[in-house]
Chains A and B, each alone.
Chain A
């Protein structure tokens, strides 16, 4: 059946061809090259590269960073989305714009501000040194930089969702005798759980992959403050291509697993997701 809005066969074919070509050339092909390069000298060489002590330390550091930054940003994201979506207050639009700031600021600058505040020459540097607290060139700095960069993901996902759902259901819950916490747990959270999960997955993918901001605060101490993306660069600059691509493959795999997880959940719970969005 032909609808009046249908484009001509040529337009359709051209658009599809352009999209497939673009995705294939700029997304899929480089990804495949990463995997192929990692396996160039056989699978055992790739695994050996991952078992290297520095690589292991980088993997641990990345996982620890994500394990701290993602839950914190999930909580902050829920708070921010709640405040913006459900309350009216002065300066709300400025706050909303500020939440987006990490998307528009270069990650390098995000890293730099922490160096300027917490670094040796920074505002708090001498005080921190006197109290023997290490932030820059250590785990806390890496976590802070990662949190800065990944802050918007959960909040951005939840704000339109919560604004769209309004406060009716929460008010109904309160009139039925629910406490504030019961209302959150039984009404608000179930209504936002899919958006929250999606935001957390994106946040996690970015937290594990962040390069620029972390690069500035990490100090590149091998085996100590190198995360996986930084370690890939170090290996590559050392001409250890197989090792570099092996670590890169693992990083890419983490991202792919994240995507598959998300698609699986969407497929498995399609009915429930539709029910939450319909009204």
Chain B
């Protein structure tokens, strides 16, 4: 059930976003893709989620040709930087969405969906807010709703695209610790994209440092931090973490 990414390339017009990216991660690993903007990390994440397609290369996951599975059948929970919550639905409806769109014979009963939503609301510590609309929540609360929504589909893989990028430093730190605990409890293979090295090392088992469409260095986070293998990685890690946007 491990994740094997092999030789992924992707070009947008004249711009080569990915120039042959390969890595493997064991089942249940927490991997961060760390790099400056434009390094291709979000493109890679979107390819894993089925929102983007590579020009060449392959991905195997859960004993499947992952790229041959359409996005809606991957059960890859995706968390977006700007939440992408359904703004016309309440929090509870947002979380239930993935269950409500299932074909009738796979869809849980109304009561089961309600129970599941309540479980997820308490998991993300938003028990009393099921009836609110996303516009009535703070940024940190919205992102926890987005995570609950992604978890509702019992994802085989969790993909997070700078999920804390739009939050202030204090909330980022809290959510980071909380996300790590959640991962330890649920053990879902998680890919986390960030340009913030402090965040990357605090969260991940494995870190891939990306630059200009390539992985410069990939390995356990302590190795990457202590033994940078290329000048770029050394240089990038010496820089202070970028200020939150």
A190 located at the interface, meaning its Cβ lies under 8 Å from any Cβ of chain B in the complex: yes
Contacting pair A175 B74 (CB below 8 A): yes
Q: Are B87 and A176 in contact, with the CB atoms below 8 A?
A: no
Contact at A172–B87, with CB atoms within 8 Å?
no
Q: Is the CB of A176 within 8 A of B98?
A: yes
Binds A, one of B75-83, B108-116, B177-185: B75-83
- B71, A175: Cβ atoms under 8 Å? yes
Residues of chain A within 8 A (CB-CB) of B101 are: 173, 176-179, 182, 186
Q: How far is the CB of A171 from chain B (nearest CB, A)?
A: 5
The verdict on A187 contacting chain B, using a C-beta distance below 8 Å, is yes
B49 contacts the other chain (Cβ, under 8 Å)?
yes
A174 at interface by CB-CB < 8 Å: yes
Q: Are B80 and A176 in contact (CB under 8 A)?
A: no
Cβ distance A270 to chain B, nearest Cβ, rounded Å? 13
B106 to chain A, nearest CB (A): 9
Q: How far is the CA of A182 from the CA of B101 in the complex (A)?
A: 7
**Residue of chain A at shortest CB distance from B133:** A275
B53 close to chain A: CB less than 8 A? no
Map CB proximity to A onto B228-241 as digits: 1 under 8 Å, 0 otherwise.
Answer: 00000000000000
| A183 to B: closest C-beta gap in Å | 8
What's the nearest-Cβ distance from chain B to residue A57, in Å?
43
CB-contacts of A157-206 with B (<8 A): 168-169, 171-179, 182, 186-187, 190-191
A213 → chain B closest CB, angstroms: 37
Q: How far does the alpha carbon of A187 sit from the alpha carbon of B135 in the complex, in Å? A: 16
CB of A186 within 8 A of CB of B97, answer yes
The residue in chain A whose Cβ has the minimal distance to the Cβ of B81 is A168
A173 to B150, CA, bound (A): 10
B50 at the A interface (CB under 8 A): yes
User: Which single member of B50, B86, B87, B136 contacts A175 (CB below 8 Å)?
Assistant: B50
- B88 near A175: Cβ-Cβ < 8 Å: no
Chain A residues, Cβ within 8 Å of B102: 177
Q: Check if A272 is an interface residue, CB within 8 A of chain B.
A: yes
A179 to B73, alpha carbons, bound, how many Å? Answer: 10
Judging by beta carbons under 8 Å apart, are A190 and B153 in contact?
no
B73→A177 contact, CB < 8 A: yes
| Residue pair B84, A190 in contact (C-beta under 8 Å) | no
User: A278 near B: Cβ within 8 Å?
Assistant: yes
Q: Please measure, in the bound complex, the distance between the C-alpha atom of A169 and the C-alpha atom of B74, giving whole angstroms.
A: 17
Whether the pair A276, B87 counts as a contact (CB closer than 8 A) is yes
Residue of A nearest to B76 (CB): A175
| Residue from B72, B88, B136, B146 in contact with A174 in the complex, judged by beta carbons closer than 8 Å | B72
Q: Is the CB–CB distance between A275 and B87 below 8 Å?
A: yes
Provide the main secondary structure of the chain A interface.
helix
B2 nearest CB across to chain A (Å): 21
Closest chain B residue, CB of each to CB of A165: B87
Q: Total interface residues on A, using CB and 8 Å?
A: 22
Closest Cβ of chain B: how far from A125's Cβ, in Å? 47
A268 at the interface (CB under 8 A from B): no
Which residue of the partner chain, among B78, B98, B133, B146, contacts A171 with CB atoms under 8 Å? Answer: B78
B149 within 8 A of A: yes
**B80–A168 contact, CB under 8 A?**
yes
Q: Which of B82, B84, B89 has the most CB of A within 10 A?
A: B84
* A187 lies within 8 A of B50 (CB): no
**Known: A190-B88, A275-B88, A276-B88. Contact between A174 and B51, CB under 8 A?**
yes
Instruction: Please measure, in the bound complex, the distance between the C-alpha atom of A279 and the C-alpha atom of B85, giving whole angstroms.
Output: 9
Neighbouring B residues of A276 by C-beta, 8 Å = 87-88
Interface string of B52-95 (1 = CB under 8 A from A): 00000000000000000001111111101010111111000000
Could you say which of B87, B133, B146 contacts A191, with CB atoms under 8 Å apart? B87
Which chain B residue has the least Cβ–Cβ distance from A175? B78
The answer to whether A176 and B135 touch across the interface, beta carbons within 8 angstroms, is: no
Is A168 a contact partner of B88 (Cβ separation < 8 A)?
no
Residue contact B88 to A177, C-beta cutoff 8 Å? no
Q: Are B75 and A169 in contact (CB under 8 A)?
A: no
A275 to B87, CA, bound (A): 7
CB pair A187–B72 under 8 Å, yes or no, is: no
**B159 nearest in chain A by CB position:** A175
Q: For residue B87, which residues in chain A have a CB less than 8 angstroms away from its CB?
A: 169, 191, 275-276, 278-279
Q: 1/0 contact trace for B109-143 toward A, CB 8 Å?
A: 00000000000000000000000011110000000
Can you report 29 residue pairs joining A to B where beta carbons are below 8 Å apart? A168-B80, A168-B84, A169-B85, A169-B86, A171-B51, A171-B84, A172-B146, A172-B149, A175-B51, A175-B71, A176-B72, A176-B97, A177-B72, A177-B73, A177-B98, A177-B101, A177-B102, A178-B101, A179-B72, A187-B86, A190-B89, A274-B135, A275-B133, A275-B134, A275-B136, A276-B87, A276-B88, A278-B135, A279-B87
Chain B interface residues (CB < 8 Å from chain A): 49-51, 71-78, 80, 82, 84-89, 97-98, 101-102, 133-136, 146, 149-150, 152-153
* Shortest beta-carbon contacts, A-B, top 8: A176-B98, A168-B84, A175-B78, A172-B84, A178-B101, A278-B135, A190-B88, A275-B135
